[in-house]
Amino acid sequence: MMGAVYAETDEEWACRRRFDDDSIGRAVEGAEANAPAPVCEGIAAEHAVGIIAPVVADNPILCSLQEDGVT
């Protein structure tokens, strides 16, 4: 009975729109196409290390400080 669904477009119900199976199907397809990306799994600290480690490795100042034992 999806075709029997109506939506109110103003307070006085002066205008109605009938949703049929086709328009509802298109709305569902659009929602699936715009679904959010999957959430990253794992611990935030692991992700941070994966982001920060290459930056530290490319930074000569930080590399020299680490060699000197300064952290």
What is the per-residue pLDDT for 52? 82
Residue type, 49: V
What is the per-residue pLDDT for 48? 82
What is the per-residue pLDDT for 56? 77
CA atoms within 13 A on the CB side of 57: 6
For residue 56, the tally of other CB atoms under 10 A from its CB is: 13
Rg for the chain (alpha carbons), in Å? 27
- Segment 8-58, tens digit of pLDDT: 555 666 666 666 667 666 766 665 666 666 666 778 788 888 888 888 777
pLDDT of 1 higher than 50: no
Per DSSP, helices labelled H in the chain are 21-33, 44-58, 60-67
Residue 40: DSSP 8-state: P
